[in-house]
Amino acid sequence: MHTRDNVYTCAQCEKCFLTLLGLTIHLNVHISKHKCTECGHCSQNRKHLERHMLRHSGEKPFECTVCNKRFTTAGNLVTHGRIHSGEKPYKCHICDKAFSQSGNLQGHLAVHTGEKPFACSLCSKCFSSSRRLQTHKRLHSNIRPHDCPYCGKLFKTARYLKSHVLSHTGSKPLSCRHCSERFTWHEQLKVHLLKSHNEGTWFTCHICQKKFCLKRKLEEHIRRHEGVKPYVCCECTKRFCTGYELKAHRVIHSDVRDFACGLCATSFKHKKHFKKCAIKLGFSDV
């Protein structure tokens, strides 16, 4: 057990708690007799262990009556149901903004306080909630709990999965209020409004004055000036400025070759190498 800025952190799994009582209750998980034989996860009681084991079996006994999506627990089904009902029972006492999940409300409250007490032990990035920290830490691991219903591809976060699914559906739900252009993602619309209609705010680098449409792009750019590389490969400890660069690098540690040429049967780890092959064969439109 150790503390970081009044946050109590479990020395065994690095999960963080705002109170000592919360940490004490959590520690019972690690001494529990109810241990998963598949992954070693410890549960507080047999019921929780049985619920956990459903993840390994693939069994999802709880079905949504609206869209037929299935879930391993009744609680997950109830939370999902709020997507259809629009119910948002968790309300901020400061600004009255409402949320469908309690974890989202806790993360939102940090907007008012500015607090980010949960720090990643691998890259020191800080978060407003324990839940967001746990989601972030998947970026440093190979855990991919979210699978695409169209192609089965696995993703580390629900956000990445949601973004990927749009590539299958071709949906462009976002429209520009100034012209007929439509977009799949909010970032695309934001960039379009700024570049085409001068609506929005440019983000300027205080070091070289270079301008960016998106704040995250500016943050990545400044990291390069400062030499900060928060993304660490868990295989070789090599460091990178962006998550995208880390993802591209990690392919070298894997045997997966996602890009296959249909003409010469050669497969590639990187899309750029696949494109080079296509150009050599006379196909430049790939």
| Residue 163, helix vs strand vs coil | helix
Q: What is the pLDDT of residue 207?
A: 93
User: Quick one: which of 157, 105, 114 has its CA closest to 136?
Assistant: 157
Q: What is the pLDDT of residue 1?
A: 45
Which residue stretches of the chain have pLDDT < 50?
A: 1-5
Q: How far apart are CA 111 and CA 7, in angstroms?
A: 18
Q: How far apart are CA 73 and CA 235, in angstroms?
A: 34
The residue to which tokens 């507080």 are assigned: 44
The overall average pLDDT reported for the chain is 78
| Residue 211, helix vs strand vs coil | strand
Amino acid 242 reads T
Q: CB of 156 within 8 A of CB of 143? A: yes
Q: How far apart are CA 169 and CA 173, in angstroms?
A: 11
Q: CB of 42 within 8 A of CB of 53? A: no
pTM exceeding the 0.85 threshold for the entire prediction: no
In sequence order, what E strands does 92-172 have?
98-99, 118-119, 126-127, 146-147, 154-155
Q: CB of 12 within 8 A of CB of 32? A: no
Q: CB of 43 within 8 A of CB of 32? A: yes
Q: What is the pLDDT of residue 39?
A: 67
Amino acid 280 reads K
| Residue 183, helix vs strand vs coil | strand
Instruction: Dump pLDDT digits (tens) for 265-281.
Output: 666 666 667 677 666 66
Q: What is the pLDDT of residue 31?
A: 62
The residue to which tokens 């192609």 are assigned: 151
Q: What is the pLDDT of residue 41?
A: 67
Q: Which residues of 255-282 are buried (b: 16+ CB within 10 A; e: fewer)?
A: eeeebebeeeeeebbeeeebeebbeeee
Q: How far apart are CA 81 and CA 88, in angstroms?
A: 11
